[in-house]
Amino acid sequence: MKKQEASKTLLIGIGNSGREDDGLGWAFVEQVEQSNFFDGDCQYRFQLNLEDAELISHYEQVIFVDAHQGELAAGFLFSNCEANAGTGFSTHQLLPESALYLCQQLYEKVPQAWVMAIQGHQWQLKEGLSQEAQNNLGNALAWFRTMTGKLSKTFA
């Protein structure tokens, strides 16, 4: 885990590497950390929790990365994330939108946020990504690296 005082961007990988492609969020963050092209803080979560609202309140930008069950045209999708109380609120699953909503309600801050959804294919109790998920991960990382280079003032 990388932690810098001056960082204004947080990258959160959500998932479980023991459930095949559910580990895509972690794999993405791990590769970003190893490549050293991203000048932000990185965190790993099995799932988002109420406490994460406080964590994200300290950042100007937050990028949530998670596996996606379903078809994505490019194998991944990077989209804006807006604060929303949502309908699926529970202590067992907190959506990124709900974490932003809680951050707004509790800390009166709403960082600019995005979700990087990466298409997965296999979800069994097994370590390692499927070949299809590895390909999608590679494409998402290449796109993200290009975007962070173009938007270095945004993702710093």
Mean pLDDT by 10 residues, the chain (156 residues): 62 96 98 92 95 96 97 96 75 84 96 97 96 98 87 56
Q: What is the structure's pLDDT at 2?
A: 44
Q: What is the structure's pLDDT at 122?
A: 96
Q: What is the structure's pLDDT at 151?
A: 55
Task: Tell me the residue ranges of DSSP E strands in the chain.
Answer: 9-14, 41-45, 61-69, 76-80, 112-120
Give yes or no for a contact between 19 and 121, defined as CB atoms under 8 angstroms apart. no
What is the spatial distance between Cα 124 and Cα 119, in angstroms, rounded to a whole number?
A: 15
Q: What is the DSSP letter of 126?
A: B
Q: What is the structure's pLDDT at 92?
A: 54
What is the spatial distance between Cα 156 and Cα 154, in angstroms, rounded to a whole number?
A: 6
Q: What is the structure's pLDDT at 3?
A: 44
Q: Specify the pTM.
A: 0.90
Q: What are phi and psi of 79, to 5 degrees?
A: -140, 160
Six-digit token pair at 141?
A: 């990382």
Q: What is the structure's pLDDT at 124?
A: 96
Give me the residues paired with residue 55 across strands: none
Domains located in the chain, CATH noted? 9-150 (3.40.50.1450)
Q: What is the structure's pLDDT at 48?
A: 95
Helix (H), strand (E) counts: the chain: 4, 5
Q: What is the structure's pLDDT at 154?
A: 59
The SS3 of residue 79 is strand
What is the spatial distance between Cα 103 and Cα 52, in angstroms, rounded to a whole number?
A: 8
